[in-house]
Structure 1
Amino acid sequence: MKQALIATLLLGLAAAAAASEQSNCSAAKGAFLTGTVTKAPKFTAATQTIQGVQLSHTHLSLVADQDGKTYDVAIDNVFAVDYVKNAKTVPASLAAIKVNDRLELCGAKYTSGVGIHWVHTNCGDTPTKSAPNGWVKRFTSSTAVGSNLERSQTYCYLWD
């Protein structure tokens, strides 16, 4: 009986935490997804350079809990907490994401195809649906998420 009560309380806490995270994402004007990584992070070379900074990306695939679809997740490397300017590799924090890891994402869904991008800080600008104040968070346990891996504001000056 006691174990069942504890399990019920833990499930309730997990649901409340997820609802809070979803509310935070809505307030940030983003689309909220949680899911399981099915394709490991892969470096994609920059197609654009601003003020000598190459805007490379990391891509991975995730099956969303919300709709069961497989999403292409496009992550801007310059916002990674450990981005190295013009490196030709996935930042270490993103490379640590493995197949079967669980992620929480807040960003903008693609307007064509199934994917999500803008999963990063918006540098303090007022968030909009096309430019939300997004994030990538990795679950540290079944109920807890870590900090935003895409919170660096070092290169925000590129868009001023």
Structure 2
Amino acid sequence: MKWLEMSTENCTVQRTLDLVGEKWTLLLLRDAFNGVRRFDDFRRHVGLSEAVLADRLRKLVAAGILRTVPYQEHGSRTRYEYRLTPKGRDLWPVIVALRQWGETYVGDPEGPVLEIRHRDCGAPVRVVVECPDDHTSLSPRDVTALPGPAARPRS
């Protein structure tokens, strides 16, 4: 079965985009990976209205990408921080890949806004697709995409 003959009803890319494919959601994830945890900090930094922000955070929590953790400042009511779950942290390579592509093709001429470096050696971090057996970087021309067990014919 060829790609155009396959149904995309159960496509995992589509399912992923349904959860995190909206611009504001990706920017919230970017900020969460950079240590932002509180509602007001997200609102100030990303520039969203309270209603849109609350909706996006609620969806990320419902999807298990973020979790809420209570905190209380002295003299204030209990509030909640938003922290990445293991499922959410698994999106880190996606955010880094988007950043990497952006730095290459639409970056500021002055250079990156944020550099991501390996803590131990200081080298810049980059995302690559590699073969797990020989650790060789791969391009789309180096791979074969075959129908998997969930592939269904297009109706």
TM-score past 0.5 threshold: no
Q: Give the TM-score, by structure 2 length.
A: 0.25
Larger Rg: 2
For normalisation by structure 1, the TM-score amounts to: 0.24
* Greater RCO (Cα-Cα under 8 Å, separation 6 or more): 2
* Structure whose residues are more often strand by fraction: 1
